[in-house]
Amino acid sequence: MVANRLRDLWDRFEARVRREPGLVGAWALVVAFGLFVLIHGKDVSWDVRNYHWYNPYALLTGRRGFDVAVAQHATYYNPMIDVPVYAGAQVMPAWLVGLLLGLVQGLNALLLYLLTTRALDARIAQSIRSWIGMGIAAAGLLGGMTLQLGGVLSQDLTVSLFVLGALVVLMRAEAATAGAKDDLFRVGAAGVLGGIAIGLKLTMMPFAFGLAAGVAVLSAPWQERWKRIAALGAGGLIGAIIFGGSWALVLWRETGNPIFPYFNDVFGSPLLLSASYRDTRFLPSGMLEAWIYPFLFSVDGTRVADAPFRDVKIMIVYILAPIALALWSMRRAAGDRVFSDQSVRLLFAFSAVSYVVWLNIFAIYRYVVTLELAAPLLIAMAIDFVPTTLRYRRYATAVVLTLSVFALGWSSAIDPRPAWGTRFIAVDVPTLEHPDQSMVLMAGTEPSSYVIPSFPPQVPFLRIDSWLDTPQSHTRFGNRMRMRVAAHRGPLFAIFADWERARVLAAFAEYGLAIEPAQCSKIVSNAGPPLNWCPLTRRALA
């Protein structure tokens, strides 16, 4: 009985492989990406040391309000997406956590495969669709920023799964079934996936506009289109509320700003200044620069990222897509196109609107890595409009994608990847004689909250000086910390980086505190440079 069952499963597997040989290749890409992450090394970048390690710890141990601003702005990010890695690292060796993370991120290749095979015209033989899907998936996974983000705990390559998944679901939306119950359920499910991405990471917001635009241009009577948009919006709201709504509510109640501290000039939390608090370093400086931005960041990746990288695929789409749309509108496009009109409408509108919103709000490239992943498919769709034979269009697509892959480059010079070791993060903390009576103050902008989970849990940590707030600002937020420090009667200690010593000493002086240099020591870890650990003494304020 068991032998017959196993034989039946094997026969079905063989039939599936013969029918879709590229699917095996897509799964191989998933495994290859996991191994790439394993070989590439562990992510202990600035963001990991600042909040990706601390935030899930704080959520799981209920430290919100007990510690204050220890990860600067990022203290108030939704920590849910960081919980799986942190929890896994408590029970598994670091290398296994990295491998599993790489495999999860590698699933982007499988979704690109599904997206491509569904976008191709149904008249194309399934085996051919399968091979094309694998090729597109490989080109998508071989991206400058994609490889740079492999195994990175920022999870940009994890939330991209939900956006690509939404597109895969929407690719089944047909004009003939628009407005039907099954059709609206499918569109609503796509909305849920998009909402999950946004709930977990607010930087995915541009894709909400992109998905709405993609649904709006799908062929259907306008009455049915509005139904689809409503279903998408309802699904998106459900997904966002489940995975981000509770956190937004907590921030709203505690600070008066559901995305604290960002856009505080809009929400008006009384705790901080009336400012946006967002990173505007990478935004284009004017209209002209905005128009040519894909050319600029394709040559110099530091225009849109902290670490240098190179990927030209979005620039190629930026060139080819308008040409394809012009040919389409003038009815001079190839008549034997292999991609369906619905798929072209969906992906072109989605990509264009997402890109424009991203460019105006963030212009930080890793937030839009989903478009880098999808760019090979968009390139293939654009070339498919060129009025020449199908054979030449295939050759042209293969050449362009191959050259774009050879042009990629990335660097981890800013945040080198150390070997995995046994423990993901290990910290040698100083011994505290009275941890239940002690308080630790942080100052400066160097990330240091990653050491907190290694300390006794009864020790509170407050960052009195950072990019978020400074003692000189005299905000209500800072004054609350000032009163808490003044009321503390036990030992006080300081953590800070040596290169920020002058700034740190000035911040402590504002609190009437000074370090005892002779009693200072170092906190050593496997994640970052040593940090200073110093007792603090009270001095009379001038």
Ranking 1-10, 91-100, 455-464 by mean pLDDT, the lowest is 1-10
Q: What is the pLDDT at residue 252?
A: 95
Model confidence at 133: pLDDT above 90: yes
Q: For residue 146, which amino acid is it?
A: T
pLDDT tens figures, 76-85: 999 999 999 9
Do the beta carbons of residue 87 and residue 60 sit within 8 Å?
yes
The span from the CA of 112 to the CA of 161, in Å, is 10
Q: In the structure encoding, which two tokens stand for residue 265, read together?
A: 């000039």
Q: How confident is the model at residue 10 (pLDDT cuts 50, 70, 90)?
A: low
Q: Is 90 exceeded by the pLDDT of residue 410?
A: no
Transcribe 345-372 into DSSP letters.
HHHHHHHHHHHHHHHHHT--GGGGHHHH
CA 51: distance to chain centroid? 14
**CA angle at residue 156 from 150 to 159, to 5 degrees?**
120
Provide mean pLDDT across the span 358-372: 97
DSSP 320: H
- What pLDDT is recorded for position 8? 67
Closest CA to 54 of 457, 332, 358, 349: 457
pTM value? 0.94
What pLDDT, on the 0 to 100 scale, is given for residue 177?
Answer: 81
DSSP result, 202-223: GGGHHHHHHHHHHHHHSSS-HH
Asked whether the predicted pLDDT for residue 113 surpasses 70, the reply is yes
Residues 6+ apart with CB under 8 A from 449: 49, 50, 51, 53, 54, 70, 71, 75, 442, 461, 463
> Which residues is 521 bridged to in the sheet?
533
Q: How many angstroms separate the first and last alpha carbons of the chain?
A: 88
Number of H helices, E strands in the chain: 22, 9
pLDDT at position 194 is 98
pLDDT average, residue stretch 433-437: 95
DSSP state of 226: H
State the pLDDT at residue 250. Answer: 93
Which pLDDT value is given to residue 124? 87
Beta bridge partners of 525: 427
The torsion angles phi and psi of 493, rounded to 5 degrees, stand at -130, 160
According to DSSP, the residues that pair with 443 across neighbouring strands are: 465
Q: What distance in Å separates the CA atoms of residue 514 and residue 539, rounded to the nearest whole number?
A: 7
Integer-rounded Cα Rg, in Å, for the chain is: 26
For residue 9, the Cα-to-chain-centroid distance in whole angstroms is 38
What distance in Å separates the CA atoms of residue 318 and residue 371, rounded to the nearest whole number? 11
Tell me which residue has tokens 């946006």: 276
Mean per-residue pLDDT of the chain: 94
Contacts of 368 (CB under 8 A, 6+ apart): 206, 354, 355, 358, 362
pLDDT for the residue numbered 283 = 96
**Confidence at residue 432, expressed as pLDDT on a 0 to 100 scale:** 95
pLDDT at 1: 63
Q: 540 pLDDT band (50/70/90 cuts)?
A: low
Residues 214 and 350: their CA atoms lie apart, in Å, by: 5
Q: Residue 257 — left, alpha, or beta (φ > 0 → left; ψ -120 to 50 → alpha)?
A: beta
Segment 433-455 shows an average pLDDT of: 97
Tell me, what amino acid is at 462?
A: L
Chain centroid to Cα 497, Å, comes to 28
Using alpha carbons only, what angle is made at residue 465 by residues 509 and 265, rounded to the nearest 5 degrees?
A: 130
CA neighbor of 126 nearest in space, from 214, 209, 32, 21: 21
pLDDT at residue 64 in the model: 87
Q: 15-70, pLDDT tens digit by residue?
A: 666 678 899 999 999 999 999 999 999 999 999 999 999 999 999 999 989 999 99
Give the pLDDT score at 123.
Answer: 83
- Who wins on pLDDT, 233 or 416? 233
Q: Residue 441 is inside which H or E element, if any?
A: strand 439-443
pLDDT of residue 2: 67
pLDDT above 80: residue 343: yes
pLDDT at 9 (0 to 100): 63
418 upstream amide cis, omega within 30 of 0: no
Q: Which residues pair with 515 in a beta bridge?
A: 536
Enumerate the β-bridge partners of residue 120. 339
Token pair for residue 57? Answer: 């710890």
| pLDDT tens profile 169-179 | 999 888 768 87
Q: Cα separation of 52 and 56, whole Å? A: 7
What average pLDDT does this structure show over 261-282?
94
Question: Do the beta carbons of residue 495 and residue 532 sit within 8 Å?
Answer: yes
